[in-house]
Amino acid sequence: MKYYIIAGERSGDLHGSNLIKGIRKHDSDAQIRAWGGDMMQEAGAEVIKHYQDLAFMGFFEVIKNLPTILGFLSFCKKDIKTFQPDVIILIDYSGFNMRVAKFAKTNGFKNFYYISPKVWAWNQSRALNIKKYVDKMFVIFPFEKDFFKQYDCEVEYVGNPLFDAIADFTPNPNFRKDARLGQKPIIALLPGSRKQEVETMLPLMMSQVYEFPDYQFVIGTVSNLPKELYARWQSIFPVKLVKDDAYNLLSVADAALVTSGTATLETALFNVPQVVCYRGGWAAYQVYKRVIRVPFVSLVNLIAGREVVKELLQYNLTKDNITEELTKITVNEYTRQNQLDGYLEIKKLLGEKGASERAGKLMVEEIRKYKGEDN
């Protein structure tokens, strides 16, 4: 069967690659065309557009690049019509993907959504559009199933694919030596995977280097961003860089400063105490304040339903506040252990590994049923 998969971000590339493996396990003849990255390509997809071309963040950047985005959308629609897939699988990246879903549904294509848009966080009425344009949701957080059921959406909870990614990871026993990190305890800095995030977050994170002289600070970098974005900090501070290897970095880290996003949950699954950091533009923050419908921004706290990790957001993200919270998870054993206990709670809520294969199996079965074929 023919599958058209769209992932517009780095994390989507990771989860898309594992989903492709799950699909291929149950459909060995699968033809897969995709928007994604290197990992999806390695898993067997023909990647026609790389996610790094799609990384527009924030209201003003989207407006500025609107002609480019509309051009991508037009190309995508034509490509879908040419490829004639049995199903279109949308992975997160809601602004673009929901437009694709509308087009696909009105043109007779079947739509699946894997890793839901965060409609439960703001503007919950968008779930009505999901009901209208998406044939089935495959969700990765337990609370999402109940949320979408309220809107009468077809929904399956498959578990969280981060378990698969981490289960497949084997730490490099020589990582410290290979990365020239030495034996001092490590505070990992994970400033995000988008240029604007890194430019905003790194100066704030770097403010801590001289506050914790007994630790070494290591920045987790990504190759889809210019190396100069990170390297200039090495001329100012005694910091080290680790490229495209966040999992090995987390496997040896003692604490972390993490930009809100998927990395917060990854950090928790590696049992690394963390402070969640985020600051957006003034206009975006004004919109955020008025539309947000959940009490937390980090996946860790959202899953737990309570504050497990400290979130320093917008005007609360200051040098002094970061120092105070970082001290609590490095020096204060009681606070540190409380956070680690919270991580255990989250792992129990998320369930077992195997989400990617479960999702792939269910998708293949659903399409075969739709086509009238035997499983």
Mean pLDDT across 75-82: 96
3-state DSSP percent of the chain in helix, strand and coil, to 5: 50, 15, 30
Query: How far is it, in rounded angstroms, from Cα 146 to Cα 132?
Result: 18
346 and 364 assigned to the same domain: no
Q: Is the residue at 358 inside a domain? A: yes
Per-residue pLDDT, 57: 47
Mean pLDDT across 310-321: 94
The separation between the first and the last C-alpha atoms of the chain, rounded to the nearest angstrom, is 13
Confidence bin at 350 (pLDDT 50/70/90): confident
Query: How far is it, in rounded angstroms, from Cα 198 to Cα 259?
Result: 9
Confidence bin at 319 (pLDDT 50/70/90): very high
151 and 279 assigned to the same domain: no
22 and 139 assigned to the same domain: yes
Q: What CATH number should be reported for the domain holding residue 302?
A: 3.40.50.2000
Cβ neighbours of residue 38 closer than 8 Å, sequence gap 6 or more: 13, 47
Confidence bin at 255 (pLDDT 50/70/90): very high
Q: Indicate whether 290 pLDDT > 50.
A: no
DSSP string, 18-76: HHHHHHHHH-TT-EEEEEE-HHHHHTT-EEEEEGGGS---SHHHHHHTHHHHHHHHHHH
59 and 107 assigned to the same domain: yes
Q: Is the residue at 367 inside a domain? A: yes
Q: Is the residue at 133 inside a domain? A: yes
Note the pLDDT tens digit of each residue in 18-73: 999 999 999 999 999 999 999 999 999 999 999 877 655 444 455 555 566 778 89
Confidence bin at 230 (pLDDT 50/70/90): very high
Cβ atoms within 10 Å, residue 60: 13
Cβ neighbours of residue 3 closer than 8 Å, sequence gap 6 or more: 23, 30, 31, 32, 33, 85, 86, 87, 89
Query: What pTM was estimated for this model as a whole?
Result: 0.79
Work out how many domains the chain is built from and give that number. 2
DSSP string, 267-294: HHHTT--EEEEE---HHHHHHHHHHB-S
Q: Indicate whether 322 pLDDT > 70.
A: yes
Query: How far is it, in rounded angstroms, from Cα 117 to Cα 90?
Result: 10
Mean pLDDT across 233-262: 94
Residue 149 sits in which domain range? 2-161+354-371
76 and 146 assigned to the same domain: yes
SS (H, E, C) 183-247: CCCEEEEECCCCHHHHHHHHHHHHCCHHHCCCCEEEEEECCCCCCHHHHHHHCCCCEEEEECCHH
Q: Is the residue at 168 inside a domain? A: no
288 and 220 assigned to the same domain: yes
The fraction of the chain above a pLDDT of 90, given in percent, is 67
Query: How far is it, in rounded angstroms, from Cα 135 to Cα 353?
Result: 25
The DSSP letter of residue 168 is T
147 and 8 assigned to the same domain: yes
Confidence bin at 341 (pLDDT 50/70/90): very high
Q: What radius of gyration, in Å, describes the C-alpha atoms of the chain?
A: 21
Q: Indicate whether 286 pLDDT > 70.
A: no
- Mean pLDDT, the chain, rounded, equals 89
54 and 132 assigned to the same domain: yes
Q: Is the residue at 169 inside a domain? A: no
The DSSP letter of residue 122 is B
274 and 362 assigned to the same domain: no
Where do we find the tokens 């200039």? 232
Tokens (6 digits) for 30: 């699968």
Confidence bin at 119 (pLDDT 50/70/90): confident
Q: Is the residue at 62 inside a domain? A: yes
Mean pLDDT across 357-370: 95
Note the pLDDT tens digit of each residue in 143-180: 899 889 989 999 999 999 988 888 889 999 999 999 99
88 and 223 assigned to the same domain: no
320 and 362 assigned to the same domain: no
The fraction of the chain above a pLDDT of 70, given in percent, is 90
Q: Indicate whether 282 pLDDT > 80.
A: no
- The answer to whether 49 touches 7, Cβ cutoff 8 Å, is no
Q: Is the residue at 145 inside a domain? A: yes
Q: Is the residue at 192 inside a domain? A: yes
367 and 328 assigned to the same domain: no
Per-residue pLDDT, 34: 97
